Amino acid sequence: MMAKIVLKPKEQTSISDFLKSVIKLDAEARISFIINDKTCKIIMGTGDSMQIISLDVEKDWLLKDGQWSLSASSFKQCLSLHLQQTNIEVDIEYTSKNPYPHVDTLTKGESRIYILAKEIVAEHLDFLMFVEQAKKHTMLTTSAIEMANIANSYTPYDSFETNKAESKIRIERDNRIIPFDVPKGFTPKFDLLLNKDGVENLKNLCESTKSKTVTIYTDDERAIFSDGYNVISNSLLSLRDYANKKEINYIVEQKLVISIYTLKDEIKIYRNMGIVKKANEALLYIESNCVMLAGLTEETGGNCFLSTQEINETPPTIYRINLSALSKVKISDITSAKQIKLQMLLDEDGKRSLGFYSDTDSVNPYQCIDDIELAPEKMNKVIEAKKALEKKLGKRGEDFSDPQLPGVGFDDV
């Protein structure tokens, strides 16, 4: 009976995804195998981007202990010519003439592929030894997914940091560091700094594993994630200048608490109107006793007063906000209250952001919209829309503002 390696659909997907980066004509790329009576470790990649997939060896595979490598592009063909969702058997032949075996197997189309094995790639062997010896942090898989989801709630970002001692989160955006309080219920167990690729690799591993825990290792050059069977690494060289970048300190320009449901419904209305959606512009009108959201084009549009606790005296002001960015704010993830705290923020360079806060104790926003600017040229159109809405309702916009309105979770604003 011939020896074989059996790849199940889940393992095929992991290997195929990684091998997508292998150029067909790359004669140098190799994939390594380390086999004993219990496991077959498959190692792929180079530099700071490598992966290990561990297969449980079964007795009827008849594999011999050994370590060797194959042409990556040829092995990729063994997988690509088979149907997904079925096991792939790769036939392995051993001979007394050669210290390494060779692949001699049939594809789905009944054509034959052979690949002579050669010496294992030293870099792959070194990577495996490093992974087995490196000191790693262990965390619950569910906690790692939660952390990745928190990171992605700050999109767009280039890097994501958790700080255990300060109980802070920091993201990097536009070469600047933005600090945030950690969301309620999440406590960093250790300090961690990842780029966006690292966050995505960690999340993908966690969502595909049945393991209850994962391990994380980072240094100045790479991050390594493992569920005990599979290992993924990615480069962190993009973070080399992270420590030299400036942390933003915001000045608060406006503070308000508004109704979550009115805001969400109004955004949905504008997004469902094709012309308004294409214009991709929401207008936020603020004066001391009135707040109004509008989506206005020449042909069509709408506007709505927001039930508001107004915080500070201000002359009539209009902000233009990216409507698409506004629609992507996951308000339900920020707070379970019926109202939400918003602050218009100015950084040291005068650039504006609209911050969303989980509670009044938060010094830094849970999420920000950066595509926002003053729009005084829209004043006449907005005032016309305000008057038209007041006429339809039979009451003034100021009637929607109530300083005594109970802000659930926002008593100290």
* DSSP assignments along 335-359, one per residue: -SSSEEEEEEEE-TTS-EEEEEESS
**Contact assessment for residue 338 and residue 153, using Cβ atoms and an 8 Å cutoff:** no
* Ramachandran region, residue 334 (left: φ > 0; alpha: ψ -120 to 50; beta: rest): alpha
Residue 378 DSSP one-character state: G
How many angstroms separate the Cα of 358 from the Cα of each of 75, 160, 173, 204, 332?
A: 51, 19, 21, 27, 10
Q: What is the pLDDT of residues 253-262, one digit of tens each?
A: 888 888 878 8
Strand 159-163 to strand 168-173: parallel, antiparallel, or no bridges (unpaired)? antiparallel
Tell me, what's the pLDDT at 408?
Answer: 40
Select the more confidently predicted residue: 184 or 177: 177
pLDDT tier, 409 (very low <50, low <70, confident <90, very high otherwise): very low
Torsion angles phi and psi, residue 179, rounded to 5: -90, 150
Question: CA distances (Å), 303 to each of 190, 220, 256, in order?
Answer: 46, 51, 18
253's tokens: 């320009």
The 10s digit of each residue's pLDDT in 39-92 is 999 999 988 889 999 999 999 999 999 999 999 989 988 877 665 668 888 999
d(CA 324, CA 285): 18
Measured from the Cβ of residue 279, the count of other Cβ atoms closer than 10 Å reads 18
Read off the amino acid at residue 24. Answer: K
Cα 101 to Cα 107: distance, rounded to the nearest angstrom: 19
Instruction: Select the more confidently predicted residue: 355 or 227.
Output: 227
Give 303's pLDDT tier (boundaries 50, 70, 90): very high
Burial 65-87 (b: 16+ CB within 10 A, else e): ebbbbbbbbbbbbbbeebeeeee
Q: Looking at this protein, which amino acid is placed at residue 352? A: R
Looking only at the bridges linking them, the beta strands covering 213-218 and 137-140 are antiparallel
**Among 255, 260, 327, CA closest to 288:** 255
Rounded to the nearest integer, the mean pLDDT of the chain is: 87
With CA atoms as reference, report the closest residue to 269 among 251, 286, 293, 236.
Answer: 293
d(CA 273, CA 292): 18
Task: Dump pLDDT digits (tens) for 262-293.
Answer: 888 999 999 999 999 999 999 999 988 889 99
pTM: 0.70
**Which residues have CB under 8 Å from 126's CB, separation 6+?**
none
Report the side by side order of strands in the sheet with 66-71.
118-119, 66-71, 30-35, 39-46, 49-56, 231-235, 222-226, 213-218, 137-140
Residue 401 tokens, joined: 């503002």
Helix (H, G, I), strand (E, B) or coil at 165: coil
263-267, 355-359, 379-383: which range is least confident on average?
Answer: 355-359
Tens of pLDDT, residue by residue over 11-26, are 888 888 777 777 666 7
CA 60 vs. chain centroid, Å, equals: 41
